[in-house]
Amino acid sequence: MAFYDEMAVMALELITELGQPVTLRETLKGVYDPATGKTGPDTVTDRTAQGILLDFTGQEFQNNSLIKTGDKKLKIAASGLSAPPSLLSKVIVQGKTLSIVPPMKEINPAGTPLLYELQVRS
């Protein structure tokens, strides 16, 4: 497995050099307190990752009807992330907040995540 661990580090280095920082934002809704009748504040957690934002190609539009005009492909290095992004995460890149559109693809040979490929939409 050491080979894939090295590949994960290499992917992070290349994406850091050629890509840009992106923020993964998870929001947990506040918990309802029946004693007070109120809901507590939401908890927002931001994590920084390294990613490359790309346009989809014409071929990808032809092969996948779930891609809409304006959607982007975001490749995020898995190394250095404490947990993978979730479909409920928001992505902040280039000052824009984007939603993740399923399916989310994990490049994971031999059980070692190298990168995540996401379809994102404003």
Quote the Cα angle for 5-19-108, to 5°: 30
H or E stretch at 26: strand 20-28
Domain boundaries of the chain, sorted by first residue? 2-26+43-121
Q: Which tens digit of pLDDT belongs to each residue from 41-50? A: 999 999 999 9
At the top level of CATH, which class does the domain 2-26+43-121 belong to?
Answer: mainly beta
pLDDT at 94: 93
- 103: Cβ contacts below 8 Å, ≥ 6 apart: none
Quote the Cα angle for 122-75-104, to 5°: 70
120 touches 24 (CB < 8 A): no
Alpha helices in the chain (DSSP H): 2-18, 58-63
Q: Which tens digit of pLDDT belongs to each residue from 70-121? A: 999 999 999 989 999 999 999 999 999 999 999 899 999 988 899 999 999 9
Per-residue confidence at 1, pLDDT binned at 50, 70, 90? low
24 touches 44 (CB < 8 A): no
Q: Which residue has the tokens 């693809």?
A: 105
Burial class from Cβ neighbours inside 10 Å (0-12, 13-18, 19+) for residue 122 reads exposed
